[in-house]
Amino acid sequence: MMFVKLLILKMLISIQNGLMNLISKFKKDYEVKSVIPILSTSEGMSKRILVRHTYVKLFMIWNLDRESFTRLTKQVNPEINIDKLWKYLGGNSEH
């Protein structure tokens, strides 16, 4: 079990480093001042890794009702159908 946790930890750190490199490249290539990545995760280990950094701000959107999710998503203006995004992220079917 410890080996699996270590493997997941290494994978999460690799993803985090890759994301930081991608953000830097994006800022340079497109000459923008800031980039706001939005990630979806369902387990606590990735949150613990990310919050170690002062530049990371976490917002929990896990239990949003459909209307709130739609309003939030429209602010980000994704290039994906909001209904599909709701489905892919496991939208809260109780709301």
**24-57 pLDDT, tens digit each:** 998 899 888 888 777 766 666 777 777 787 777 7
Q: How far is CA 68 from CA 61, 82, 84, in A?
A: 9, 12, 16
In this structure, is residue 94 part of a structural domain? no
In this structure, is residue 72 part of a structural domain? yes
- Between residues 79 and 83, the one the model is more confident about: 83
Q: What is the pTM of this model?
A: 0.50
In this structure, is residue 93 part of a structural domain? no
In this structure, is residue 57 part of a structural domain? yes
Q: Residue 65 sits in which domain range?
A: 2-88
Phi-psi region of 43 (alpha: psi -120 to 50; beta: other; left: phi over 0): beta
